[in-house]
Amino acid sequence: MENINYSLCWEDQDMLIRALNIGSGDDVLSITSGGCNTLALLLQRPHSITAIDNNPAQNHLLELKAAAIRTLTYQDTLAFFGFKKSRNRVDQFQKIKIFLSPDALAWWETKIDLVNIGIVHVGKFERYLGLFRRIILPLIHSKKTVEKVFTLDGFESQKKFWDSEWNNWRMRSLGRIFFSQPVMSRLGRGRERFAYANVHDIGKYYIEKSKRVFVDIPTRNNYLLDYILTGNYSSEATLPTYLREENFSILKSELHKLKIVTMDLGKFLARAPDNSFSKFNLSDVFEAMSVEQTNSVFKELVRVGRGGGIVVFWDNLVHRQHPASLNAAIMTDFEKSKKLAAADRAFLYSNFTLEKIQK
pLDDT tens-digit readout, 15-41 = 999 999 999 999 999 999 999 999 999
Residue 244 within a domain: no
* Residue-wise pLDDT tens digits, 243-255: 999 999 999 999 9
Domain range for residue 168? Answer: 124-238
In a domain, 151, yes or no: yes
pLDDT in tens, 235-293: 877 899 999 999 999 999 999 999 999 999 999 999 999 999 999 999 999 999 999 99
48 located within any domain: no
Residue 242 and residue 239: Cα distance in Å, rounded?
Answer: 8
- According to the model, what pLDDT value does residue 140 have? 97
Q: Which of 12, 16, 15 is nearest to 28 (CA)?
A: 16
Sheet holding 27-31, edge to edge: 258-262, 48-53, 27-31, 277-281, 305-315, 351-357, 330-332
Cα–Cα distance for residue pair 289/76, rounded to 1 Å: 39
Interatomic CA distance for residues 342 and 247, integer angstroms: 26
15 Cβ contact partners less than 8 Å away, ≥ 6 residues apart: 340, 341, 343, 344, 345, 352
Q: What is the pLDDT of residues 195-225, one digit of tens each?
A: 888 888 999 999 999 999 999 999 999 999 9
Assess if residue 263 is contained within a domain: no
How many domains are there within the chain?
1
Q: Are 31 and 266 in contact (CB under 8 A)?
A: no
* In a domain? residue 335: no
Cβ-contact 197, 181 below 8 angstroms = yes
Question: For strand 48-53 and strand 351-357, is the pairing parallel, antiparallel, or unpaired?
Answer: unpaired
- Mean pLDDT computed over every residue of the chain: 96
User: pTM, whole model, 2 decimals?
Assistant: 0.96
Q: Which distant-in-sequence residues (6+ apart) come within 8 Å of 20 by Cβ?
A: 26, 28, 41, 44, 279, 281, 310, 312
Q: Give the total residue count for the chain.
A: 359
> Is residue 139 in a domain?
yes
Helix axes of 102-109 and 56-71: crossing angle, nearest 10 degrees: 100
Residues paired with 355 in a beta bridge: 311, 332
Segment 1-10 shows an average pLDDT of 91
Burial of 113 (0-12, 13-18, 19+ CB in 10 A): exposed
Q: How far apart are CA 296 and CA 306, in angstroms?
A: 17
Q: Which amino acid is at 9?
A: C
How crowded is residue 128: how many other Cβ atoms within 10 Å of its Cβ? 17
Residue 152 amino acid letter: L
% the chain with pLDDT above 90:
92
List Cα–Cα distances, 196 to 209, 286, 292, 319, in angstroms: 19, 10, 12, 9
Could you tell me how far CA 339 lies from the centroid of its own chain? 20
- CB-neighbour burial class of residue 309 (10 A; exposed 0-12, middle 13-18, buried 19+): buried
Residue 98 placed within a domain = no
Report, as an integer, the average pLDDT of 82-103: 96
Structural domain includes residue 136:
yes
The DSSP symbol for 181 reads: H
